[in-house]
Structure 1
Amino acid sequence: MNQDYIKPNDWSIIEEGFEAGRVESSESLFSLGNGAMGQRANFEEQYSGATFQGSYIAGVYYPDKTKVGWWKNGYPEYFAKVLNAPNWIGINVLVNGESLDLFTCKEVRDFRRELNMKEGWYERSFVATLPNNIEMRVKITRFLSISRNELGAINFEVEPLNSDATIVFEPYIDSGITNEDANWEEKFWETLEVKTVDHKAFITSKTLKTEFHATVFMQSQLFRNGSEINTEAKEVLFEEKISFRYTTEAKKGEKVNLHKFGGYVTDMNHKREELTAAAGKVLDNAVDSGFEKLLQEQKLAWAKIWEMADISIEGDVKAQQGIRFNIFQLNQTYLGEDARLNIGPKGFTGEKYGGSTYWDTEAYCIPFYMATKDQHVARNLLTYRYNHLDKAIENAEKLGFSNGAALYPMVTMNGEESHNEWEITFEEIHRNGAMVVAIKRYVDYTGDYDYIPEKGLEVMIAIARFWQQRANYSRQKDKYVILGVTGPNEYENNINNNWYTNYIAKWCMEYCIENLEKVKSDYSSDYERIMSKTKLSAEEIAGWQEVADKMYFPYSEEYQVFLQQDNFLDKEIVPVSELSKAQRPINQKWSWDRILRSCYIKQADVLQGFYFFEDHFSKEDLEKHFDFYEPLTVHESSLSPCVHSIQAAALGRMEQAYQFYLRTSRLDLDDYNNEVKEGCHITSMAGTWMSVVEGFGGMRIRNGKLSFDPQIPNGWKSFSFKINFRNQILKINVAPEKTSFILEGDQNLEILVKGNSIVVEPNNLITV
């Protein structure tokens, strides 16, 4: 049963009514981030019910020792994970000596929370009757500044409703925190210094092992009916915690507000000895500006993001809310200015997957960032992998590969493999191919071919070397085979000749050879440098070509389709439609043994290949494979519905495309997989964007030109989106009878619409 408590709204995520059982889910859905830090929507005040504490700093991680009962050569020693950072949001509130705690209140009414995505703030309000019978109206507004990314701000307002009251606010910072997902219940932070200066509080800590230094800080101001109260705060310092105690009287109906400013500075951006001074400067600037001015600044910063990134849907509120939620979370997670950072599958919304980088970035996220930001943002994402090339070569060496072959990690923070499930760590090698697909998509879209001789070709060579060594010659088949793998469909482990893996391996080697030729003819000095650095020979290149030419692909004559793997048809083929709903999701109801023997597919596998290499196959090929595999797919990966939505649209099956779109866009809002309390599915949200732009908009790059084949779901009046294509911004509006284009730029742009060439002139509406 999907959850349905989120109110449909164009621009906001809204929850009404307090239920303790959904607090953890809402902590995920109402999360905040600004690219540099983020936090779950934990309550500021004390809460004694079930809650999942989570505040995170981008790029700060810890190598938690892998927990397995046995060891294998090449196994990663550590699982790198983003850390629950020191807490700065805490504000204990006492009313006539009684703690405000929604879990122990006699009554909570008019509870409402709103995440305003248009303006980038989160607000929670309620009326609570405390055990001492004082009735309070409370309203809290919070945001993480986009323009000052080390700063967050909170306005905590209380109003006694049935009597005068003594209000105590205790804002605090606390470095004595642990991770929800710690393997060994160990602590990850060591507190180095706890101090206060001029009503400001600072705690400097360092992570164990990785030695990241961070200072968490806070400063508060108290107001009554809008005027500042200069009350003396009592300071309380502990080993790992600082609190300030503000006491004031409030008459019945009088509003008292605490403005709290806090956040983090780290040694990624400041000298260690200057962290406290840097934090003090952030606080001085924040207090000088004040809460309201900072909030206005926030609204303007988000308006600028939405100006480029928004997808507008007319006539379907749930679809509109879904896509904006996805776009909002992507921008909260990563803004693209720092090539040291990347996009974790949960972003700043939870700890599952360790906040690390997966192949999701290359396979799903790059198109979104490429089209909605400047091309340097996508280039930064590619550079992140180039900077990890030596580590990828090291990862391959640990598994017995040689001669500069690289295996990019399934999960990483610093380029080292840190995934702790053998069937994925050793076998899900298809991730290597996504690195090269991302380079091709980037070059095709931006026209920035220089990236290939500058950085990309070295990555391709190392990956081609891996594929040649990983394939082996089968005398029986007179073909090259790739044995013992897990494809994108993780419901089949340790299988032979996964079609997607074999296909992407062949393509990577061929694409590398093609680019070696181009760089040799057009960038001769880069070519000499790369050949010398990699010690690449003509014999080795010929070896790649031989493996690519003789790659084996399992095929069924009976069904006329490529088989997901050699023994796929040994399984009992029963469509998902014949599975009882009580058995779903199978990953929560079945044993792993049963799943592995079933025909059920977690996510697009063969169809993932058809998505990446669409122009290698005819529409009839796609239809045949879609009709064979989709009925067997349970879509229990967040990365599955978006690919199927794009392909259903390509086949003109708009009702099915729309249903998949709804599932991918509302995966977390409606909690399809019954797991949102662990965090939101951030990387698949980029796939949601693709399902509108590439699916319904039919956008492709054909021979360096933008091409569109627009369609619109039933019931939608229109949808529109913008893309930044080679520094020209094109706005597309699709309605049932027509599609219009407006170009912001200073040069004409030739595009294709349903195969016909059209020239769009700057600031001139073209309707097709």
Structure 2
Amino acid sequence: MNKRSEGHPAALQLPREWSLVEDAYDEKDNQRKESLFALGNGYIGMRGYFEEGYHGKEGASVRGNYVNGFYDTAPIHYPEGAYGYPAEGQAMLNVTDAGILKLAVEGETFHLNRGHVRFYKRVLHMQSGVLHRLVEWESPAGHRVLIHIRRLVSLTHRHLAAIHYEVTALNFAGTVSLCSAMDGDIAEAEGPPDRGGDPRLGARRTEPSLLFEEAGSDGRGGGWLKQRTRHSRFALLTAMSHRLALPPSASYSLSEKHDRQRLSVQYDVALRRGDTFSLSKFISHHTSRDTREEELLMQSEGALRLAESRGFDGLAEEQHAYLDAFWSRADVEIKGDPALQQGLRFNAFGLLQSAGRDGRTSMAAKGLTGEGYEGHYFWDTEMYVLPFFTFTTPEIGRALLEFRYRTLEQARERAKVMAQRGALYPWRTIGGEENSAFFPAGTAQAHINADIAYGIRQYVQATGDEAFLVRQGAEILFETSRFWVDLGHYDPGRDGAFCIDGVTGPDEYTAIVNNNAYTNLMAREHLRYACETVGLLRERYPLQYARLEREIGLAEEEIREWQRAADKMYVPYDDELGIYAQDDTFLSKRKWDFADTPPENYPLLLHYHPLVIYRHQVLKQADLVLALFLLGEQFSREEKIRNYRYYEPLTTHDSSLSPCIHSIIAAEIGEMEAAYDYFGRTVRMDLDDVNGNAKDGLHTAAMAGSWMAVVNGFGGMRLDRGGRLGFRPVLPPQWESCRFKVMHRGQRIEVFFDREQVTYTLQEGEGLVILHDGERLEIRPEAPVRRELSADREPAGGHLGN
């Protein structure tokens, strides 16, 4: 196992398999809880902040409200610049806060650090998609109220969020006031307050990014606010409306106040003892990135009218129905470890909440839960998040790939800046332009081109969606293939092998190297797939191919060159050790001194200069080991064992992307104890705050990696080159059974295995052929197929066979 510390093992609470429950308020942990209790729908994200605000002294709060793909730009200042450095950075904005609801009981303001909290519970229900908070509060004067707050971000209406606020007067008759507001003056202080030199947090903005333009109200407690980003000049319109429900005996008065960027409405309600009243608040966000600016107000009004007609309960019913359909495809059920069961569902739910599904947006590294990495999209999407959606909710998978097509022109421009042909996708971006200001661990990671190509291939093979390949995917493949052939060269000193110099692989603790094995292997696969796609299009879609050929000026000699480069691709190998070298020089460096590295010095990037790290054999995350998984058919079992055993002890897993990959390969080669340990660390990455930074947003790649670790690791799922599904399940000794479902070309198959056998059941579709441990099986409706579970995969020290 690796040498770094195990982070923060304390769980949030005893696990509930379908919910996340907080039984007591702890202000010191408030900011992390805001990430954990965040809600979203792929467009809107709302952190789990308290409606009344945070008033603690020991913790911190980020009242985060986000719109996927909505960003401002700002100049990047380099003390020492150079040609081709990105001139501007993009940052996802914390937008207008419309989640404000402040309660006063007989003039005394409610918050959790005042008066007496007699009862407290907060519950995120993952089957219903609703966040509940129940508080019994006694004011300093002794007035007791029961407060029940429900919140949702609609999964069926992407511009809508809603809050239902219910108050019961328990021991008094009097006036209860509820003030609902939205505030567009988002102070910088409300962002992450102390970056402490952590490059994962991004730059601090020194001026407001949202500028006021106009505001208005409908005279019935509703209002809207229009703002514009300072530099990118996108427009945002945020609006709210309300529905009040009173007992027959109650009366109320309403007052409104508009102060430029803050709009508020206050309901003063006279209640008798035992009376209950409620206020439903509906919130909409629209931006000029996806709506014509002149239609922003009209679209907002329409969304709020729809919300009012449904009511909170109607929206909640729709939410539940949507999630019923989602869980029927995406749920993974394990028996024997409730904490990991909870984590798997929390992670799947989190992925659904943060994934863009409109083709214009993607999945940020922290999703819509926080501002870590400034809301940027990385390769995480294609390598980790995309497989989850491809095999559970393929329509979202396609939308994520469509984002890459929409930003292909920016990738072409980036290649030109880098003096290359074709297209080079950005390492980190929102709008499509490169945002990485540290090129050794950014732009140099050209493997992102091959990662996107791999994602396209896997998606098309798994779904059969050749229409996407013809209309969009092929153009991406061809332009990025041009890049590889232009970047690399044929080295006479290596018998004319095709070499790729000056790149960084997935391991960011080793930078600017020649012939990173992962990059070369993936580029070879990329070029081969591009050639296969040419053949497919010529045979089945000749008219579309001819059009694309004309539009991008594709020449026959280019295609031959793609094949030649693939055939002659150099992959460094060490004969003495019998392993693939991570790059040309990695194995010649001295190994990192793990024994004398104190636990508090992890992650290394926060405690050592990059050059110190670069001079050693030490890995931040899976690199060659990742290739063993993605391109598994190209390695023998012996090779996987030797390579895993060499690189695993050198890996710190300072990246949250790493443990899941090691879990998958460990399971494949029979090292089940390590597989389970890495899996546990992945699945509860955020719930247990393993890396200590969940406060800045959740780790979406690890969320998706936990699904992969079950389905690809313990379930042994792979696609062969023809796109056929294969499984080789192995049950961890800690479990009684495991059940998951995957979609394949419009059909849904359930895989269930316990200690004795595996059962394959077709739940949706007409029939398909799969492989079980190499055996061909035909699965038909209403005819489950059972096979004895293979004996536990032999430990790596046992017999070595392919």
* Secondary structure at 1:91 match in 2: strand
- Distance change in 2, residues 1:315/1:184 (3 Å): closer
Query: Counterparts of 1:678-693 in structure 2 under 5 Å?
Result: 678-693=696-711
The code of the aligned residue for 1:173 comes to M
Give the corresponding residue for 1:125: 134
- Whether the aligned pair in 1 keeps the contact of 2:356 and 2:363 (CA below 8 Å) is no
- Whether the aligned pair in 1 keeps the contact of 2:99 and 2:182 (CA below 8 Å) is yes
The whole-number CA distance in structure 1 between the counterparts of 2:565 and 2:700 is: 37
- Whether the aligned pair in 1 keeps the contact of 2:250 and 2:270 (CA below 8 Å) is no
More divergent stretch after superposition (303-312 vs 741-750): 741-750
The whole-number CA distance in structure 2 between the counterparts of 1:616 and 1:735 is: 30
- Whether the aligned pair in 1 keeps the contact of 2:250 and 2:272 (CA below 8 Å) is no
The whole-number CA distance in structure 1 between the counterparts of 2:249 and 2:568 is: 77
CA deviation digits over 1:191-236, x for unaligned, max 9? 2221111321111222233333232122233445x55956231100
The whole-number CA distance in structure 1 between the counterparts of 2:25 and 2:315 is: 29
Offset of residue 545 of structure 1: 4.1
Q: Which runs of 5+ in 2 are unaligned?
A: 1-7, 192-201, 788-802
- Whether the aligned pair in 2 keeps the contact of 1:223 and 1:229 (CA below 8 Å) is no
Q: Do structure 1's residue 444 and structure 2's residue 461 form an aligned pair?
A: yes
- Whether the aligned pair in 1 keeps the contact of 2:74 and 2:231 (CA below 8 Å) is no
The whole-number CA distance in structure 1 between the counterparts of 2:534 and 2:765 is: 35
Give the corresponding residue for 2:758: 739
The whole-number CA distance in structure 2 between the counterparts of 1:37 and 1:557 is: 53
The whole-number CA distance in structure 2 between the counterparts of 1:384 and 1:12 is: 32
Aligned match of 2:571 in 548, 553, 562? 553
Offset of residue 34 of structure 1: 1.4
Query: Counterparts of 1:153-302 in structure 2 under 5 Å?
Result: 153-160=162-169, 163-178=172-187, 180=191, 183-197=204-218, 198-224=220-246, 231-251=252-272, 253-302=274-323
- Whether the aligned pair in 1 keeps the contact of 2:236 and 2:287 (CA below 8 Å) is yes
Give the corresponding residue for 1:46: 53
Offset of residue 556 of structure 1: 2.2
The whole-number CA distance in structure 2 between the counterparts of 1:552 and 1:765 is: 46
* Secondary structure at 2:591 match in 1: coil
CA deviation digits over 1:433-487, x for unaligned, max 9? 1111112112221233444343323222221221122223444444443232221
Give the corresponding residue for 1:303: 324
- Whether the aligned pair in 1 keeps the contact of 2:174 and 2:272 (CA below 8 Å) is yes
Query: Counterparts of 1:542-581 in structure 2 under 5 Å?
Result: 542-573=560-591, 579-581=597-599
- Distance change in 2, residues 1:194/1:484 (3 Å): same
- Whether the aligned pair in 2 keeps the contact of 1:481 and 1:551 (CA below 8 Å) is yes
Q: Do structure 1's residue 9 and structure 2's residue 16 form an aligned pair?
A: yes
Q: Do structure 1's residue 383 and structure 2's residue 402 form an aligned pair?
A: yes
- Distance change in 2, residues 1:599/1:110 (3 Å): farther
Offset of residue 575 of structure 1: 7.5
- Whether the aligned pair in 1 keeps the contact of 2:245 and 2:278 (CA below 8 Å) is yes
CA deviation digits over 1:485-534, x for unaligned, max 9? 22101111222322111222233223323333443344333333333333
Q: TM-score, normalised by structure 2?
A: 0.90
* Secondary structure at 2:253 match in 1: coil
Q: Do structure 1's residue 423 and structure 2's residue 423 form an aligned pair?
A: no
Aligned match of 1:537 in 528, 534, 555? 555
More divergent stretch after superposition (585-594 vs 63-72): 585-594
More divergent stretch after superposition (421-430 vs 547-556): 547-556
- Whether the aligned pair in 2 keeps the contact of 1:601 and 1:634 (CA below 8 Å) is yes
Offset of residue 268 of structure 1: 4.6
Give the corresponding residue for 2:511: 493
Q: TM-score, normalised by structure 1?
A: 0.94
- Distance change in 2, residues 1:334/1:574 (3 Å): closer
Q: Do structure 1's residue 37 and structure 2's residue 44 form an aligned pair?
A: yes
Give the corresponding residue for 1:93: 103
- Whether the aligned pair in 1 keeps the contact of 2:355 and 2:396 (CA below 8 Å) is no
Give the corresponding residue for 2:795: none
The whole-number CA distance in structure 2 between the counterparts of 1:749 and 1:51 is: 51
More divergent stretch after superposition (245-254 vs 615-624): 245-254
Offset of residue 718 of structure 1: 1.4
- Whether the aligned pair in 2 keeps the contact of 1:152 and 1:262 (CA below 8 Å) is yes
* Count of aligned residue pairs for this structure pair: 762
CA deviation digits over 1:106-147, x for unaligned, max 9? 544533211111110111233445455545443321111222
- Whether the aligned pair in 1 keeps the contact of 2:426 and 2:443 (CA below 8 Å) is no
More divergent stretch after superposition (598-607 vs 123-132): 123-132
- Whether the aligned pair in 1 keeps the contact of 2:249 and 2:272 (CA below 8 Å) is no
The code of the aligned residue for 2:444 comes to E
Q: Do structure 1's residue 656 and structure 2's residue 674 form an aligned pair?
A: yes
Aligned match of 2:368 in 344, 348, 359? 348
CA deviation digits over 1:614-668, x for unaligned, max 9? 1111111111101111111111111111111111111122222221111111101
The whole-number CA distance in structure 2 between the counterparts of 1:455 and 1:660 is: 37
CA deviation digits over 1:135-189, x for unaligned, max 9? 5443321111222222222122334556545322110011111462663322221
- Distance change in 2, residues 1:390/1:585 (3 Å): closer
Give the corresponding residue for 2:160: 151
The code of the aligned residue for 2:660 comes to C
Q: Identity of paired residues, percent? A: 34
CA deviation digits over 1:413-439, x for unaligned, max 9? 222112222223331111111111112
CA deviation digits over 1:689-732, x for unaligned, max 9? 11111111111123332211111111312111112211111111
The whole-number CA distance in structure 1 between the counterparts of 2:571 and 2:162 is: 56
Q: Do structure 1's residue 751 and structure 2's residue 770 form an aligned pair?
A: yes
Give the corresponding residue for 1:710: 729
